[in-house]
A and B are shown apart, each in its own frame.
Chain A
Amino acid sequence: MKIVVCIKQVPETNNVKIDPVTHNLDRRGLAGVMNPFDKNAVELALNLKDTTGAEVALLTMGPDDYAESVREGMAMGADSGYLLSDRAFAGADTLATGYVIAQALKKIGDADLILFGRQAVDADTGQVGPIVAEFLNQPQITYAASLRMSGPNEVTAERLLEDTKQTLVAQLPAVVSVRSELNTPRYPTPRNIQLSFEKPLTVWHHDDLDLDDTRLGQSGSPTVVTKVYAPEPVKRELTPLTGTPSEAASQLIKALKEHQLI
């Protein structure tokens, strides 16, 4: 079994700033760390490795220093890593990112399970996993809060949404994005940190992949960020319910009827 975990390096939390000109995240001068949700995906892969002997590879796209997060994942226990790095990939939105990652996954080949964190904490879109699943034409399960091998070629996951839980079964190969409720990621041990530098980390540039240049980078991204802002809180009118509980209940029913809600 081969598992590929797609990870992202994000700015250390609480330090995120927006570039006033491009309206994109300003990552300059910020320490990069592995996206916390991606650590849950790595931990899931490593648990499956422990129980099934699966081979675990990591995949990321970004500048050279994104290798740090790949090394961290390898220090946690992953066997190998891939870094997709090229100026041509810069400025990509989720669609252009998903396209390059999908092409890289095709080149890696034979991945039975492709894992993502539910979303990255810098941009919070949660879109790349589903986009990759579409490009690969594979079944996808998002927001998995648990996952188990329910057959030799099948996974069962509990999908946790805001107000509902779903139990989904997918045939492999499949794409799954995971929630933090899934597990507690292990710490990389000091020894494994050292040994991770002996594991293979492959860097692929533009020419190493079969790519349609019109789908790459900023020019290949249909998303245009015009403004990033915190929405103003909506001021709502409050009508206090007064009197005894019975009187308050009558007032509430009257108000609901007035608003044609009941």
Chain B
Amino acid sequence: MPSTTAAAEKLLLQMVDDYTEREISPQDMPMDKAGDFPAGFIQKLTNTGFLGIMLPQEFGGAGFGPEVTADVLNHIARGNASTAVTLEGHFKTIDQILKYGTPALQKALLPSATDRIFAFSMTEASGGSNPMGIGSTATREGDHWVITGDKIMITNGGLAQVYCVLVKTAPKELSVFVVDQDMPGFSFGKREDFLGLKGTPVGEIVMDHIIVDDDHLLGKVGDGGIIGDSAHDDARILMGAVLTGIMEHDLKIATDYAKERKAGDTPLTDLQVTHRKVADIAMRKETTKLLYQKAAQLKAAGQPYSEEAAMAKAHGSRAAVSAGDDTLQILAGYGYSREYPVEHLIRDARAMEIAEGTVEKMRSAIAKAEFNK
């Protein structure tokens, strides 16, 4: 008999596949057209317990580990990448509160993570990949902190109710605080109109003299850079999983079509040009899968995983854009048509060459890690 953990993970993925097929996949095209989740979609996802998959059981979650959590997002992304990315944003934020939050903050905040979405925000108009360029500040006043600033392009911005925010506590010092949408001084700004991942809200928050106590600080003052990097690492594993799911979706569309379509009298499956494209899509999918699973495995084992996580995202995002492009070419006019999902899979994948650090930044991080060996 399999171990309890393996049996539970199998059951979880079985449920996720069932849910994805019945509840998520049918919304893939409507979501892309409407540019939003349909009404009740997030509530049903919440009611079914998806928000608490990796949250420890002591806080009311299911307590599944990093490997199967990534696999869950992989399986969801086969049906719809936006849903998986919304969960990615939530999970990476919970991870940072678990790693760096005080016990008091964890106890106060984390039980609500089963029915409230969390988000991590770093980017500002003045700085994205350059965190020192941000203008948001937290100023010490008596026994509390006063936070002021604007954060933009937040995954789940506007949807999430709890935000980890990167701010400056001194001109050259970054720190991360947790703020809640119910706090005085918190408001939402505009929602971005992005090219892909149309279901995932990406938006702005405005913090106007929000007052928080020391318990809302993650880690120590000045740990902002470390925590930001950690959030990126955790997100990149999950993005590798999402990208794998997008490529699995591509592969299914490409092979289903090739099996039915003929060019003249020749089935597409007999054409070498089809073979090459399908094989390339399959290899890109499989290499990305191995990369994210290795990174998740290292994370679960408590070993460094930053470089592997960067590889999963850097390789996976370009691989998924290319896989989408090959799929589009196999389907030709149908691939280019907005009546079919292929073109939006390319747009969805393209987001992940930028989000959670550009691929250029990933490559620098990977190269530096190699130089340091």
Q: Which A residues are within 8 Å of any B CB, using their own CB? A: 33, 64-65, 67-68, 71-72, 75, 187-194, 196-197
B1 CB within 8 Å of chain A:
yes
Interface digits, B191-218 against A, CB 8 Å rule (1 contact, 0 not)?
0000000000000000000000000000
In angstroms, Cα B49 to Cα A192, docked, is: 9
B61 touches A191 (CB 8 A): yes
- Chain B residues touching A, range: 20 to 34
In angstroms, Cα B197 to Cα A161, docked, is: 46
A187 touches B15 (CB 8 A): yes
Interface digits, B1-38 against A, CB 8 Å rule (1 contact, 0 not)?
10010011011101100110000000000000000000
CB distance from B31 to the nearest CB of A (A): 20
A193 touches B4 (CB 8 A): no
CB-CB under 8 A from B100, the residues of chain A are none
- Given A194-B62, A194-B64, does the pair A189, B14 have CB atoms closer than 8 Å? no
B18 touches A193 (CB 8 A): no
A197 touches B4 (CB 8 A): yes
A-B contact pairs, 30 of them (CB 8 A): A33-B14, A64-B1, A68-B7, A68-B11, A71-B7, A71-B11, A72-B11, A72-B14, A75-B11, A75-B15, A187-B15, A188-B11, A189-B48, A190-B12, A190-B53, A190-B62, A191-B49, A191-B52, A191-B114, A192-B49, A193-B8, A193-B11, A193-B12, A193-B15, A193-B62, A194-B57, A194-B62, A194-B63, A197-B4, A197-B7
B60 CB within 8 Å of chain A:
yes
B4 touches A187 (CB 8 A): no
SS class of chain B's interface: helix, strand, loop or mixed? helix
CB-CB under 8 A from A71, the residues of chain B are 7, 11
CB-CB under 8 A from A75, the residues of chain B are 11, 15
**Nearest chain-A residue to B55 (Cβ)?**
A191
CB-CB under 8 A from A64, the residues of chain B are 1
Find B49's partner among A65, A190, A197 (CB 8 Å cutoff).
A190
- Given A68-B10, A194-B8, A197-B7, does the pair A188, B62 have CB atoms closer than 8 Å? no
CB-CB under 8 A from B63, the residues of chain A are 191, 194
**Nearest chain-B residue to A191 (Cβ)?**
B62
CB-CB under 8 A from B61, the residues of chain A are 190-191
CB distance from B278 to the nearest CB of A (A): 23
B50 CB within 8 Å of chain A:
yes
In angstroms, Cα B64 to Cα A64, docked, is: 24
In angstroms, Cα B19 to Cα A190, docked, is: 12
CB-CB under 8 A from A189, the residues of chain B are 48-49, 62
**Nearest chain-A residue to B61 (Cβ)?**
A191
- Beyond contacts A72-B14, A190-B62: 9 other A-B pairs, Cβ-Cβ < 8 A, are A68-B7, A72-B15, A188-B11, A190-B50, A191-B114, A193-B62, A194-B8, A197-B4, A197-B8
Interface digits, B53-88 against A, CB 8 Å rule (1 contact, 0 not)?
100010011111000000000000000000000000
In angstroms, Cα B62 to Cα A189, docked, is: 8
CB-CB under 8 A from A192, the residues of chain B are 49
In angstroms, Cα B49 to Cα A188, docked, is: 9
CB-CB under 8 A from A196, the residues of chain B are 8, 11
B18 touches A190 (CB 8 A): no
A188 touches B15 (CB 8 A): yes
**The 9 residue pairs across chains A and B that have the minimum distance between CB atoms:** A189-B49, A190-B62, A191-B62, A190-B53, A190-B49, A197-B4, A193-B11, A187-B48, A194-B62
In angstroms, Cα B17 to Cα A33, docked, is: 12
B18 touches A187 (CB 8 A): yes
CB-CB under 8 A from B114, the residues of chain A are 191
In angstroms, Cα B63 to Cα A65, docked, is: 24
In angstroms, Cα B7 to Cα A16, docked, is: 23
For window 78-121 of B, CB contacts with A under 8 Å fall at 114
- Given A68-B10, A197-B8, does the pair A191, B18 have CB atoms closer than 8 Å? no
CB distance from B7 to the nearest CB of A (A): 7
In angstroms, Cα B4 to Cα A191, docked, is: 14
In angstroms, Cα B1 to Cα A65, docked, is: 7
CB-CB under 8 A from B8, the residues of chain A are 193-194, 196-197
CB distance from A67 to the nearest CB of B (A): 7
In angstroms, Cα B132 to Cα A8, docked, is: 60
CB-CB under 8 A from B50, the residues of chain A are 190
CB distance from B12 to the nearest CB of A (A): 5
